[in-house]
Chains A and B, each alone.
Chain A
Amino acid sequence: MKILICISHVPDTNAKIPFKDGQPDLNGIAMVIAPYDDFALARAVELRDETKGKLTVLNVGLADTEPTIRKALAIGADDAIRVNAKPVDAYFVASQIAAIAQVEKYDIIMLGRESSDFNGGMVHGMVAEILGLPCVVPCMKMDLAGDKAVMYREIEGGKEVVEVAMPFVAGCQEPIAEWKIPNMRGIMSAKSKPLKVVEPAAATNHTSVVRYEMPTQRGTVKMIPADQVEQLVGFLKNEAKVI
């Protein structure tokens, strides 16, 4: 069983992100595995253990993402690939993942439902479409049965139980597994696990970010005394006009 887990390297979700000249200023901000990818990684490690297979972690990023990749190795991935390029847009990233998957022929390709920086939620669908594989998103539970997987897929207002033959792509979210924290043995062994750096396959991005800005700030909050809730009703009706 060959499993691929693709991770994004993103700012800590607790961080406040300043913007300078229309670009995020990530100086001094802790970088982490994107939260949804972290859920997918946790389940991927469990499935690898279950099947005694091999789990590879992949990231498209420059050298500064290596500590994040090492963390995934410490959590349990067996080896790593870093595609040495800036992840400029979803199409570019998906093309890199697909190029590697075409050669490596993974049984399962797992990703998070979306990254917490660009929030595109597109890479899994693009990878699946390029490779001609089925894609289950958002996947909340994944169990293997022979050459198939049974998954819970979230739908509007509920969930579906779906069955898919391998190989397939899954974009995962909680509660697929609990986040795993690397232990000391994992951290020590991660240092010597193979991390291969490859140059990107030819692909042109279709979109580019012109600039970032802070969202429009709300005006000052209007406080209403606890014993005058009817005032709030009046504001919602006549001022905000939302009821």
Chain B
Amino acid sequence: MSNVIVYIEAENGEAKKHSLEAVAYGAAVAAQWGGQTVAVATADLSAEHAGEVAKYGADRILHIAGASNPQASDIAQLVAAAALQTNAGLVVLAKSIAGDLAVPMIGIKLGAAVVTNVTEVPNLAHGFTVKRAAYTGKAVTEVQLEGSIKVISIKKNAIGLVENPKVGALEAFAPTMAASSIMVKEVQKQTGELLLPEADIVVSGGRGLKGPENWGMIMDLAHTLHAATGCSKPVSDIGWRPHHEHVGQTGIKVSPNLYVAVGISGAIQHLAGVSSSKTIVVINKDPEAPFFKAADYGIVGDAFDIVPKLTAALKSAM
């Protein structure tokens, strides 16, 4: 019997959706092991929202009231402490910028096998194997993890938001933590904006839009779909859009339910960042654009004509 630790990333009192998915993932493994799912959260998760963490499968919630807005090294310390205290066989984090760095640190602290970007629940038939994307989306690889404890980060949609109601009450947890030697001097954050890696729907624009002044229609379409906006590498390179919107091999890799690409030809480096999307729609005036080969639905035509029409059609249908 081994337990599963799940780290909860939270903001404004609420657990992030991708962390709730991580709870569901952890609970699925714990069920097979006959163990418990133990969530670990900082003060960023408020008591009134703890019930949502329990709803997706947390038997217990270790709550560190003394820590908030943790850096990766803080997350690593508190998760490793929780794993040692609860006799954990698996630690699960949702993929995020801070989580991505915490995962290898936890691995070293626990002497554990570590795998990032996991896309499916593990196969426990012969040891512990997981599937993950490799070669930047050009391959899927199956990886075997050795040892009595494993640390993984999961990509969005690895299991989905599966409800699995448990009692999961808050328990005070106060591990010894060393302060980070990285001093944060300034934070520049766009607020009120749907974040690209977390969004269920992403609308991206490419050079086919001819200039930054034409992004209004991309925004309109994104707002209608409750989507985040992204862009291709050339677009962020020439400064039409900020760097953090760049989707692709050297930018953000997304795996939304729906990815809409407007005026993006589909260079292999861009496809690498979107290939794990559930459904892909491509709008391009060039019928030979390589992106159509990687799409589920395509429209050949002028974006300036099609995008406003599509937004209108969506508005009347939703």
Q: Which residues of A contact B (CB under 8 A)?
A: 11, 13-14, 16-17, 19, 24, 35-36, 39, 90-91, 94, 116-126, 128-130, 134-138, 140, 150, 154-165, 171, 173-175, 206-216, 218-219, 221-226, 229-230, 232-237, 240, 242-243
Contacts and interface: CB of A to CB of B under 8 A. Distances in A.
Contact of A126 (B105, B201, B292): B105
Contact of A13 (B136, B145, B258, B276): B136
Interface in B75-99: 76, 96-98
B185 A162 contact: yes
A229 B108 contact: no
Contact of B317 (A120, A175, A210, A237): A237
B310 A233 contact: yes
Contact of B279 (A154, A173, A242): A242
A229 B306 contact: yes
B238 interface: no
Contact of A122 (B114, B244, B282, B295): B114
B81 to A, nearest CB: 15
Interface stretch (B33-41, B57-65, B162-170, B186-194): B186-194
Interface string B143-155: 1111100000000
B171 interface: no
Contact of A135 (B72, B143, B282): B72
Shortest 3 CB-CB contacts between residues of A and residues of B: A226-B301, A125-B104, A158-B189
A234 B317 CA distance: 9
B98 to A, nearest CB: 8
20 contacts: A16-B138, A119-B135, A122-B114, A125-B101, A126-B114, A156-B96, A157-B190, A157-B196, A158-B189, A158-B244, A161-B187, A210-B143, A213-B140, A213-B142, A221-B298, A226-B302, A226-B305, A229-B299, A237-B317, A240-B279
Contacts of B107: 91, 122, 126, 206
A229 B298 contact: no
B134 interface: yes
Interface stretch (B24-32, B42-50, B176-184, B209-217): B176-184
Nearest to A129: B108
A154 B244 contact: yes
Interface of B: 72-73, 76, 96-98, 100-105, 107-109, 112-117, 129, 133-147, 180-191, 193, 195-198, 201, 225, 243-244, 249-250, 257-258, 268-269, 272, 275-276, 278-282, 292-302, 305-306, 309-310, 313-314, 317-318
Contacts of A11: 135
Contacts of B100: 121, 137
Nearest to B132: A119
A225 B297 CA distance: 11
A159 B189 CA distance: 6
B243 A175 contact: yes
Contacts of B276: 215
B233 to A, nearest CB: 9
B195 A242 contact: no
Given A35-B249, A165-B181, A17 B76 contact: no
A223 B129 contact: no
Q: Is the interface of A mostly helix, strand, loop or mixed?
A: mixed
B297 A236 contact: yes
Contact of A218 (B139, B181, B295): B295
A120 B108 contact: no
Given A164-B182, A207-B115, A221-B298, A233 B201 contact: no
Contact of B109 (A36, A91, A129, A233): A129
Given A138-B97, A215-B276, 5 more contacts: A17-B139, A91-B113, A129-B105, A162-B182, A211-B142
A243 B225 CA distance: 8
Nearest to A234: B317
A240 B104 CA distance: 36
Contacts of B133: 119, 215
A226 B280 CA distance: 17
A24 B144 contact: no
A219 B296 contact: yes
A138 B250 CA distance: 11
A14 to B, nearest CB: 6
Contacts of A36: 250
A156 B298 contact: no
Contacts of B189: 155, 157-159
Nearest to B102: A125
A149 to B, nearest CB: 10
Contacts of A213: 139-142
A210 B306 contact: no
Nearest to A161: B186
A13 B249 contact: yes
A221 B295 contact: yes
Contact of A116 (B114, B135, B201, B294): B135
B38 to A, nearest CB: 22
Contacts of B183: 162-164
B213 to A, nearest CB: 23
A130 B108 CA distance: 7
